[in-house]
């Protein structure tokens, strides 16, 4: 974390009029953070910058600026400095006090838009009164994200963080490797790919292609084989493969055909890391063992695909979960962007692999679930649990295996 060069960190600007509560908001955001990396005090005219770790965005730089309505000569200089900050932030929070927006905020929004800088409007001091309804309606009509908070009492600070994650550019979240960190140059990696009726004609699915590419990028060698040919292929090899990766559908057969001294995992588990926070999803998978009859479970599909007869999310996973719970469950399926604000009634959330959404979107969902103390896992982890191979599939990710066991025990992280 300390090694991330400052230029690569996400820069978050906090803008607004004097006394709107910018500094209080920054302190509230930082107050909840794990660690303050640096604290560089500003001069009377320089914006204050604070660098710290804001999971899941990683290290960020918060820039607290002078009020945009500052008066006098010194004020003009401060405003000029603030305008300079506008040019170097990746995402902005516009803080508005209880009275509502004025021409100053409207000007600022126009400047941010012209610069293509994403932003959210933070109505502060909600303890003193709600924001003007017509302004909220107008902003909603313009598809601008708004959050109503009280920086002083701490109310809604988590919502500000969630807004930041949502507005942050995709590029601010580093794509983790798929397998590159598990293998070395010259290593042999076996990819087991079932070709069933669901496989697209003449193609391979994207996780298979991406994994193979990451193997080549690691100067390693990838062997691709159907599950039926795996045992014969392994028997004929003079070298032991470094890793076997298989489709979740065939994890049982592949686990049986792969000697126990060879590490094995699934594409879904690799994708859980690539498309989300694997540790959290593994901990959520542990919670499956704690399901009780009558529990409410949310199945979240990122896309509203045409459901097949034995649809994984709508049929197979609910059936497995009921078997685990030893009785009926109250299962709710939500598709597309329909992910509830209030998750507190759910005992578990099972998210799809997220092939049509970005890593950030999954991370935002995981953040919301974590804030509300609701375990969240995904299809691939749930399948490995149901097949009894999750512990083996997580062996090459010790931190995730620990998290899974923590999730089973039900203890807090």
CB of 168 to a second copy, least distance (A): 20
Applying CB under 8 A, which part among 28-36, 220-228, 254-262, 350-358 lies near a second copy?
Answer: 220-228
Count of residues near a second copy by CB under 8 A = 31
Q: Which residues, 149 to 208, sit near a second copy by CB under 8 A?
A: 185-186, 193, 195, 202-204
Applying CB under 8 A, which part among 166-174, 222-230, 322-330, 403-411 lies near a second copy?
Answer: 222-230
CB of 216 to a second copy, least distance (A): 5
Question: Which lies closer to a second copy via its Cβ, residue 220 or residue 291?
Answer: 220
Over the window 286 to 325, marking each residue x when it contacts a second copy by CB under 8 A and - when it does not, the resulting string is ----------------------------------------
Instruction: Provide the strand spans (E) within 66-157.
Output: 91-96, 119-123, 145-148
Question: In this structure, are residues 146 and 136 in contact, taking their beta carbons and an 8 Å threshold?
Answer: yes
Question: In this structure, are residues 273 and 397 in contact, taking their beta carbons and an 8 Å threshold?
Answer: yes
Question: Which lies closer to a second copy via its Cβ, residue 273 or residue 368?
Answer: 273
Site membership for a second copy, residue 4 (CB under 8 A): no
Question: Which lies closer to a second copy via its Cβ, residue 213 or residue 296?
Answer: 213
**Helix residue ranges, H only, 185-276:** 206-217, 227-236, 251-257, 267-274
CB of 226 to a second copy, least distance (A): 5
Question: Which lies closer to a second copy via its Cβ, residue 224 or residue 408?
Answer: 224
Question: Which lies closer to a second copy via its Cβ, residue 219 or residue 338?
Answer: 219
Q: Which residues, 352 to 381, sit near a second copy by CB under 8 A?
A: none
Q: Is 72 exposed, middle or buried (0-12, 13-18, 19+ CB in 10 A)?
A: exposed
CB of 191 to a second copy, least distance (A): 9
CB of 259 to a second copy, least distance (A): 17
Nearest CA to 210 among 233, 176, 185? Answer: 176
- Interface residue with a second copy, options 43, 116, 238, 344 (CB under 8 A): 238
Distance, in Å, from the CA atom of 320 to the CA atom of 390, rounded to the nearest integer, reads 14
Tokens representing 61 are 């730089």
Distances (CA, A) of 270 to 179, 193, 233, 381: 7, 14, 23, 10
Distance, in Å, from the CA atom of 390 to the CA atom of 385, rounded to the nearest integer, reads 5
Site membership for a second copy, residue 224 (CB under 8 A): yes
- Interface residue with a second copy, options 155, 228, 253, 305 (CB under 8 A): 228
**Helix residue ranges, H only, 6-71:** 22-31
Question: Which lies closer to a second copy via its Cβ, residue 209 or residue 409?
Answer: 209
Tokens representing 278 are 């694997």
CB of 286 to a second copy, least distance (A): 30
Do you find a cis peptide bond into 183, omega within 30 degrees of 0? Answer: no
Question: Which lies closer to a second copy via its Cβ, residue 72 or residue 200?
Answer: 200
Q: Is 242 exposed, middle or buried (0-12, 13-18, 19+ CB in 10 A)?
A: buried
Applying CB under 8 A, which part among 5-13, 59-67, 233-241, 387-395 lies near a second copy?
Answer: 233-241
Strand partners for 190: 223, 244
Helix, strand, or coil (residue 372): coil
Instruction: Specify the DSSP class assigned to residue 316.
Output: I
Pair type for strands 58-64 and 48-54:
antiparallel
Q: How many CB atoms lie within 10 A of CB 381?
A: 31
Question: Which lies closer to a second copy via its Cβ, residue 186 or residue 336?
Answer: 186
Question: Which lies closer to a second copy via its Cβ, residue 130 or residue 229?
Answer: 229
Q: What residues make contact with a second copy under the rule CB under 8 A?
A: 185-186, 193, 195, 202-204, 209-210, 212-217, 219-226, 228-229, 232-233, 236-239
């Amino acid at each position: 974390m300390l090694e991330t060069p400052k230029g690569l960190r996400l820069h978050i600007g906090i803008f607004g009029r004097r006394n709107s509560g910018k500094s209080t908001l920054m302190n509230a955001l930082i107050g909840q953070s794990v660690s303050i990396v640096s604290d560089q005090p500003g001069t009377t005219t320089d914006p204050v910058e604070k660098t710290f770790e804001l999971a899941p965005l990683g290290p960020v730089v918060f820039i607290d600026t002078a009020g945009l309505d500052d008066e006098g000569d010194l004020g003009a200089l401060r405003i000029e400095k603030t305008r300079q900050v506008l040019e170097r932030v990746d995402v902005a929070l516009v803080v508005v006090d209880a009275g509502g927006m004025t021409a100053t905020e409207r000007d600022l929004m126009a400047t941010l838009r012209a610069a293509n800088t994403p932003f959210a409007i933070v109505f502060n001091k909600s303890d003193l009164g709600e924001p003007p309804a017509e302004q909220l309606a107008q902003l909603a009509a313009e598809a601008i994200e708004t959050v109503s908070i009280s920086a002083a009492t701490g109310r809604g600070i988590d919502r500000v963080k969630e807004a930041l994650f949502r507005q942050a550019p995709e590029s601010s979240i580093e794509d983790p490797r798929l397998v590159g960190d598990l293998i070395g140059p010259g290593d042999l990696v076996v990819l087991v790919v079932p070709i069933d009726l669901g496989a697209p004609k003449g193609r391979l699915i994207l996780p298979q292609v991406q994994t193979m590419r990451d193997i080549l990028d690691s100067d390693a060698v990838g062997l691709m084989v159907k599950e039926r040919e795996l045992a014969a292929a392994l028997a004929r090899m003079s070298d032991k493969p470094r890793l076997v990766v298989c489709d979740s559908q065939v994890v049982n057969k592949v686990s049986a055909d792969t000697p126990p001294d060879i590490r094995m995992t699934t594409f879904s588990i690799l994708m859980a890391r690539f498309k989300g926070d694997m540790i959290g999803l593994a901990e959520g998978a542990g919670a499956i063992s704690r399901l009780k009859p009558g529990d409410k479970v949310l199945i979240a599909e990122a896309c509203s695909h045409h459901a097949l007869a034995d649809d994984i999310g709508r049929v197979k996973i609910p059936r497995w979960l009921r078997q685990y719970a030893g009785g009926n469950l109250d299962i709710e399926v939500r598709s597309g962007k329909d992910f509830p604000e209030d998750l507190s009634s759910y005992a578990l959330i099972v998210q799809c692999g997220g092939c049509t959404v970005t890593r950030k979107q999954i991370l935002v969902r995981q953040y919301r679930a974590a804030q509300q103390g609701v375990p969240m896992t995904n299809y691939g982890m749930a399948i490995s649990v149901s097949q009894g191979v999750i512990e083996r599939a997580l062996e090459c990710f010790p931190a995730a295996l620990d998290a899974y066991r923590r999730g089973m025990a039900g203890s807090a992280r």
